[in-house]
Copies of this chain bind each other. A is one copy, B any other.
Amino acid sequence: MNNKKKPKYVTLNYISEITGYSRPTISRVINGHKYIKKETRDKIISVINELNYKPEWTARSLRTGKTNLIAIIFKDIANFFTTEVIASIQEVLSGKRKDIILFNTNFDKGLENEYLEVAISKRVDGIILASMGMANVQLINSIITKNEIPIVIIDNDIKDVNVDKVFHDNVVGAKILTEHLISHGHKRIAIISPSLRETSAIERIEGYKIALKNNSIEINEDYIKSIKFKEEKFFEKIKERISELFSYTQKPTAIFIASTNLAIGTLSYLKENNYKIPGDIALVSFDDHEFVNIMNPPLTTLKSINKEIGTVAANLLLKKIKGGAKKEAEVIKIGSKLIVRDSCGCNSKN
Evaluate contact between A8 and B146: CB separation under 8 angstroms: yes
Contacts of A83 in B (CB 8 A): 77-79, 82-83
Interface residues of A, count at CB 8 A:
55
Closest B residue by C-beta to A146: B8
CA distance A271 to B291 in the complex (A): 13
Q: Does A44 contact B (CB under 8 A)?
A: no
Query: A9 within 8 Å of B by Cβ?
Result: yes
Partner of A121, one of B54, B77, B121: B54
Residue A16 CB within 8 A of the other chain? no
In the bound complex, residues from chain B placing their C-beta under 8 Å from that of A69 are 101
> A85-106, CB under 8 A of B: which get 1 and which 0?
0110011001000011111101
Residue A236, interface by CB 8 Å? no
Asked if A123 and B78 make an inter-chain contact with CB atoms under 8 angstroms apart, the answer reads no
Tell me whether A117 is interfacial, beta carbon within 8 Å: yes
**Given A122-B99, A264-B291, A52 contacting B142 (CB threshold 8 A):** yes
Give the shortest distance, in Å, between A21 (CB) and chain B (any CB). Answer: 21
A36 on the B face (CB < 8 A): no
1/0 per residue, CB under 8 A from B, across A237-250: the answer is: 00000000000000
Q: Which residues of A contact B (CB under 8 A)?
A: 6, 8-9, 52, 54-59, 61-62, 67, 69, 72, 77-79, 82-84, 86-87, 90-91, 94, 99-104, 106, 117-118, 120-123, 142, 146-148, 235, 264, 267-268, 271, 290-291, 293-297
**Smallest CB-CB A-B distances: 3 pairs:** A296-B296, A78-B87, A54-B121
